[in-house]
Amino acid sequence: MSLAERAEMPSDIEAIRAVTASLAAAAYDKNAAAMARHYAPGAAIADLAPPLVSRGFDVAKAQAWLDDWDGPVEIEMRDLMIEAEGDLGLCHGLQYVRARTRQGEEAAWWSRITMTFARAGRGWQITHEHNSVPFYMDGSYRAAIDLDP
Amino acid sequence: MSLAERAEMPSDIEAIRAVTASLAAAAYDKNAAAMARHYAPGAAIADLAPPLVSRGFDVAKAQAWLDDWDGPVEIEMRDLMIEAEGDLGLCHGLQYVRARTRQGEEAAWWSRITMTFARAGRGWQITHEHNSVPFYMDGSYRAAIDLDP
């Protein structure tokens, strides 16, 4: 790669941020296939719902989840910390999801999101994702989907 | 650092694994201060209990949690994936915690754990930790502390 080419490349931090923005855009468009392109084959995914960890982005499951909402699924990132060295990248922060149920109710929740990236050609692919909410340790074991940062 | 000194150093992967082993040993000894030494000041911690994220390892809170159990708190890691490049390290995998309540009941649960590390001198410090269980999306919103990998 020439210096001129390199100078035109987004920084690794910008490139990783662009992946998160592309994921949000794909969720808004309810296009799970467009989301899947950002995941490495066999990526380790620890999601809000069981199991503890699954392997590989499940396009059909993601599409069914997106289609279960009425209208777009809006995803915003906050306090996103991005780091990259060599071929290893990661980001962690908070994710705010808003969508409308088929019954017309507005749903919205904050979760904690962490993603690991591997350099893939000129871009970055997600090799690991961890998305969660805490739970109340008051004996209820209720998932804390009602927290604000 | 001389080549001889470098040859005697554990690899970055081994050094990060040693941090997780040291954390487990400190938990077994119920020594929160020994755990705290592995955390960078202001580390971002997304834990099993609310809030979404807190800043810095809270020694008093961790010690109170450890002391709330009768006897040692046993922590085992499984499927731990460790990566390091330059001054950036991370690990993710599953964590199995076993302890006995003051009422004599055995408690045990699996969670997903992700840690980000920064090189600090010859070692590595935790700058971010994300520990979670999923929750059941069956309308109960119950934390899934009963899952096996």
Residue of chain B nearest A86, judged by CA positions: B85
Mean pLDDT to the nearest integer, A94-101: 98
Selected for mutation to probe chain A from B78, B101, B130, B148 (highest A CB count within 10 Å) is B130
- Identify which of A122, A42, A124, A41 has the alpha carbon closest to the alpha carbon of residue A90: A124
CATH class of B3-132: alpha beta
What whole-number distance in Å separates Cα of residue B59 and Cα of residue A106? 39
pLDDT(B17) > 80: yes
Question: What average pLDDT score do residues B92-114 get?
Answer: 97
- As beta bridge partners, residue A53 has none
Using CA atoms, how far apart are residues B101 and A76, in angstroms rounded to an integer? 40
- From B138's Cα to the closest Cα of chain A, the distance in A is 10
Does the pLDDT of residue B136 top 80, yes or no? yes
pTM of the model: 0.94
Tokens of B58: 């809270």
For residue B7, pLDDT over 80 is answered with: no
* Contact (CB<8Å) A137/B48: yes
Q: Is the pLDDT of residue B67 over 70?
A: yes
Say whether the ipTM exceeds 0.95.
Answer: no
pLDDT at A2: 65
**The token pair that represents B2 in the structure block:** 């001389």
- The reply to whether A88 touches chain B by the CB within 8 Å rule is yes
Q: Where are the domains of chain B?
A: 3-132
CA B131 to chain A, closest CA, distance in angstroms equals: 8
In which residue are the tokens 């993710």 written? B92
Scanning B17-46 for CB atoms below 8 A from A yields 44, 46
Residue A56 CA to residue A40 CA, distance in Å, equals 7
Scanning chain B, the segments in alpha helix (DSSP H) are 3-8, 12-28, 32-36, 59-67
